[in-house]
A and B are shown apart, each in its own frame.
Chain A
């Protein structure tokens, strides 16, 4: 039994392509990305780091509401989303707003989501995604359904969904993987293991040494990658996508990552449960630093280019917040009107009540 456990753990060693110094350490796994694609990945990571910084500031000013910081997870979030095609369907969790944005959600809507406005959840036509899921695990069983739907339609697309290390303890996490496995549905489950579910370290979630090995319970492939390494994340998810669209079924990808900020900005204080040493250790693994070094060595990136991205991000964020400010306030009648296709009698009556109230 002990041997079996050790053997399982050996199957799920961390896959890394780019080390902390920006050196390729695993040439065999190197994904096939053009120079432009590599630069685009860097651009997105820098942009998203700025978005995180600005979102925190805007939240503190009271100009944003619910916000779950993303700094540190850029490689994990954007490397995985970069492996998707436009036709693929994204089921994000509450921290996965950056993926939604890069999948097509306008920044203004992302801010409206944060503030709690229904317009923020209205996906534009052709953006195949649900809004960020608050119920941890619900997106996993839904992804199995989305993927089965794609399989039934004969599409060469996937459902891609995310949860965290804590989420992997939920029943829906297991059920979703198991259903997708049983139906051989084209789903990719990404677990972003940032080591903490609010204050609870991953060691307290499970005696399993990795999250990736939970795939074994569903009989599907699982892989554990360095989640601070954008190339490793991209490669693992792209491989999982290839398998899925080839009819080989779902996969689980665990990205080993870290959030530099608090769980959310609703009063969480990570100094209560995380040591400075641990923070410093992970700061050295920053996905931006190593990818920057890699690109600079290849002559593909410069400070000037980075500053251009930063300025562009700041400008677009400013414009988007302004646009969000201009969106009409929500009325109760708006909320009633999006409940059903046809209003039942109780809501018809309440609609009239609130119409009268609102016209005063």
Chain B
């Protein structure tokens, strides 16, 4: 075991997979000699060579097209999009192409691609770096969308993503890259995709969250505990497909739920979670399922992040609203 930050756990997972499978290729803008703008690929080119870990021209669509082409030749590409706000440049290559490869070839070809990309607010980035756009890719059949919230999860989920024989979008929250350390096993291990985790047990209300909001939900739960409210915190870990089994088991126990996302109310995946709960567990509900989200504006100017991003206080308020319904 070692104490690792999330970024170290990610590098570790990449190193393990580069070593395990000679078909794994890591590429993107500045991921080679530079080791990535966040050091996620630090040392990998030196260890595995330029043939395995390499820089690309500055063109996101080209990078994803490259990944699709390489996958037809039996490679297992792990491309990086420097910031997920730049995904618009590569939307066709991801959603229009990679996601559909198995289907459009009638099951004769596949695209075992893992797209790594940082996102998320609270670190004062310039425009279109922090936007939460997981909702866009979560709507595309053929993709899986994974968002870890801890070093341990990041490593196990990234190894699983790389080994998955279908395309996975692996979104890394920038605020979580180095915000805390956690015990992470040094050897390889996997975590099943599409499986949520109960990060805190509780009996009065269920918080469903992902990404940085998991930590806000945990903080809110700690605060509520002092007021005698016991909140169960679920970390989705995979936002497409969503693990409804875990959510429903929790909701059937607590009878109340709040879904929490950093994305705007009209974006993200919270609305999906709410619909599934109401379709499958309405008779277990004591209150409507409420959402904590960002307002429906464009992602804020840097200096406005603090007033804009949802936080633990917003979660506590919504929880009380549900409880006092």
> Which A residues are closer than 8 A to B by beta carbons?
89, 118-123, 130-131, 135, 138, 140-150, 152-153, 159, 171-172, 175-176, 178-179, 182, 335, 337-341, 344-347
Contacts and interface: CB of A to CB of B under 8 A. Distances in A.
A224 B171 CA distance: 44
Given A119-B106, A338-B106, A341-B166, A153 B73 contact: yes
Contacts of B74: 149, 153
Contact of A145 (B59, B72, B109, B142): B72
Given A135-B96, A345-B241, A338 B103 contact: yes
A82 B64 CA distance: 30
Contacts of B59: 175, 178-179
A170 B292 CA distance: 40
Interface in B10-33: 25
B105 A123 contact: yes
Interface residues on B, range: 35 or more
Contacts of A122: 105-108
Nearest to B96: A135
Given A145-B70, A176-B65, A138 B96 contact: yes
**Chain A, interface SS category:** helix
Nearest to B243: A345
A175 B166 contact: no
A120 B97 CA distance: 18
Contact of A89 (B72, B166, B194): B72
Contacts of A153: 73-74
B68 A171 contact: no
Given A138-B92, A345-B241, A152 B102 contact: no
Contacts of A159: 69
A237 B144 CA distance: 40
A218 to B, nearest CB: 10
Report which residue of A146, A150, A175, A178 has the largest number of chain B beta carbons within 10 angstroms of its beta carbon. Answer: A175
Nearest to B55: A182
B192 to A, nearest CB: 11
B69 to A, nearest CB: 2
A149 B72 contact: yes
Contacts of A147: 69
Contacts of B242: 346
B57 A148 contact: no
B241 A141 contact: no
B75 A149 contact: yes
Interface of B: 25, 51, 56-57, 59, 61-62, 64-75, 92-93, 96-97, 102-110, 141-142, 144, 164-166, 194, 241-245
A123 B244 CA distance: 37
A337 to B, nearest CB: 7
Contact of A142 (B65, B108, B194): B65
B61 A146 contact: no
B108 A141 contact: no
A141 B62 CA distance: 5
A120 B89 CA distance: 30
Given A178-B57, A339-B142, A345-B244, A145 B105 contact: no
Contact of B97 (A123, A138, A178, A338): A138
Please name the 9 residue pairs, one residue from A and one from B, whose CB atoms are nearest each other, closest first. A145-B69, A141-B65, A149-B73, A175-B62, A344-B241, A122-B106, A338-B107, A118-B106, A146-B69
A141 B93 contact: yes
B67 A145 contact: yes
A142 B68 contact: yes
A89 B106 CA distance: 18
Contacts of B51: 152
B196 to A, nearest CB: 11
A148 B244 contact: no
A182 B69 CA distance: 16
Nearest to B62: A175
Contacts of A89: 72-73
Contacts of B164: 341
B105 A340 contact: no
B105 A131 contact: yes
Given A121-B104, A152-B51, A179-B56, A345 B75 contact: no
B54 to A, nearest CB: 9
Nearest to A335: B103
Given A146-B70, A148-B69, A178-B59, 13 more contacts: A118-B103, A118-B104, A135-B92, A138-B97, A140-B65, A141-B68, A142-B72, A146-B72, A172-B65, A175-B61, A176-B65, A178-B57, A344-B194
Given A135-B92, A138-B93, A175-B59, A149 B241 contact: no
Nearest to A157: B73
Given A141-B69, A144-B66, A159-B69, A135 B194 contact: no
14 contacts: A89-B73, A131-B105, A135-B92, A138-B65, A138-B93, A140-B65, A141-B61, A144-B69, A146-B69, A146-B70, A172-B61, A179-B66, A340-B166, A346-B242
Contacts of A171: 61
A189 B164 CA distance: 32
B302 to A, nearest CB: 29
A339 B102 contact: yes
A131 B69 contact: no
Given A179-B57, A344-B241, A142 B107 contact: no
A337 B103 CA distance: 9
Nearest to B241: A344
B104 A148 contact: no
